[in-house]
């Protein structure tokens, strides 16, 4: 009995220690419509939320990530899935399944994270429009230390999307492509002769994204004003974000 109790105590201490070092992501849907968030983990890290799930208007869900986790979150819109989880989304689709095993199809707004191995080191995070935009998305650090900046894109870029970048469904603009996705040219994709920060400069299209969303990545080398850091934080990820507060 004493040995069993001691083993239970060790297990409890280990569990509490793991919980203390975990990072919690709260995903909140402030949109007026249902979304289907997708998650993708990198470097063999644990899959969060089974890769994808439904999130109704006004609802939220909390996901727990272990130390050193890295990955991304995005919203899928206009989805229809059958009872087996097979189906399709108008934007952000990840191969026609509810529980994603790959990334979301561009154009899609991304929240990207690299979590530190311990709470004293820095997490890195950003909101990226490099793969285009489908809905507003914001990331707020909760309870951390350091710079802990807000990252996000609060504006409705679909309403101001140039015709050549528009994705239209049923007569409405549902997403805005990046110039790389639309034109597949080195100067927009930062490839070939434009593969370095010195040779790949902002364009009229990335400037449109940056002016509307100053704290989001607008193109591949937009690091200086777009990469955020924080130590020992949890994170609130808000879809259809209305503000940084």
Q: How many structural domains compose the chain? A: 1
Which pLDDT band, with edges at 50, 70 and 90, does 44 fall under?
Answer: confident
Which pLDDT band, with edges at 50, 70 and 90, does 119 fall under?
Answer: confident
Q: Is the pLDDT of residue 20 over 90?
A: no
- Helix, strand or coil, per DSSP, at residue 221: coil
What b-and-e string marks burial along 7-25, b requiring 16 or more CB atoms within 10 Å of the CB?
A: eeeeeeeeeeeeeebbbeb
- Helix, strand or coil, per DSSP, at residue 214: coil
Mean pLDDT of the chain: 91
Q: What is the mean pLDDT of residues 29-45?
A: 94
Which residues neighbour 29 within 8 Å (Cβ) at sequence distance 6 or greater?
A: 35, 55, 56, 57, 58, 59, 60, 239, 240
pLDDT tens, 150-192?
Answer: 999 989 999 999 999 999 999 999 999 999 999 999 999 999 9
| Whole-Å CA distances, 151 to 113, 154, 202 | 11, 10, 19
pLDDT of residue 19: 57
Other CB atoms within 10 A of residue 98 CB: 21
Structure letter (DSSP) for residue 85: S
pLDDT of residue 60: 98
Which pLDDT band, with edges at 50, 70 and 90, does 225 fall under?
Answer: confident
The terminus-to-terminus CA distance of the chain in angstroms comes to: 52
Q: Is residue 209 part of a domain?
A: yes
Which pLDDT band, with edges at 50, 70 and 90, does 242 fall under?
Answer: low
Model pTM? 0.90
Q: Is residue 38 part of a domain?
A: yes
The CATH number that applies at residue 227 is 2.60.110.10
Q: Which domain holds residue 59?
A: 23-239
Q: Is residue 2 part of a domain?
A: no
Percent of the chain's residues with pLDDT above 70: 90
Q: Is residue 141 part of a domain?
A: yes
Q: Is the pLDDT of residue 1 over 50?
A: no
Q: Is residue 7 part of a domain?
A: no
Q: Is the pLDDT of residue 245 over 50?
A: no
Q: Is residue 1 part of a domain?
A: no
Spatial distance between the Cα atoms of 240 and 142, rounded to a whole number of angstroms: 19
CA neighbours within 13 Å on the CB side: how many for 21? 14
Q: Is residue 18 part of a domain?
A: no
Which pLDDT band, with edges at 50, 70 and 90, does 12 fall under?
Answer: very low
Least confident of 29-38, 43-52, 69-78, 121-130: 43-52
pLDDT of residue 11: 38
Q: Is residue 217 part of a domain?
A: yes
Q: Is the pLDDT of residue 244 over 90?
A: no
């Amino acid at each position: 009995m004493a040995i069993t109790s001691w083993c239970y105590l060790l297990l409890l201490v280990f569990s509490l220690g793991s919980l203390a070092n975990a990072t919690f992501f709260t995903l909140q849907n402030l949109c007026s419509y249902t979304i289907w968030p997708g998650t993708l983990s990198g470097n063999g890290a644990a899959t969060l939320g089974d890769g994808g799930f439904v999130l109704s208007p006004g609802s939220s869900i909390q996901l727990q990530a272990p130390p050193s986790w890295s990955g991304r979150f995005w919203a899928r819109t206009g989805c229809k899935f059958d009872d087996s989880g097979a189906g399709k989304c108008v934007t952000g689709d990840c191969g026609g399944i509810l529980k994603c095993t790959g990334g979301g199809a561009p154009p899609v707004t991304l929240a990207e994270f690299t979590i530190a191995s311990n709470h004293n080191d820095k997490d890195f995070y950003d909101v990226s429009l490099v793969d285009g935009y489908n809905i507003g998305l914001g990331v707020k650090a909760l309870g951390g230390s350091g710079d802990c900046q807000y990252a996000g894109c609060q504006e409705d870029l679909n309403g101001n999307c140039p015709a050549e970048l528009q994705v239209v469904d049923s007569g409405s603009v549902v997403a805005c492509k990046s110039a790389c996705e639309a034109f597949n040219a080195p100067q927009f994709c930062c490839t070939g002769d434009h593969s370095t920060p010195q040779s790949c400069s902002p364009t009229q299209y990335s400037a449109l994204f940056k002016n509307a969303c100053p704290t989001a990545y607008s193109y591949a080398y937009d690091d200086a004003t777009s990469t955020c850091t924080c130590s020992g934080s949890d994170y609130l990820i808000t879809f259809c974000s209305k503000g940084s507060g």
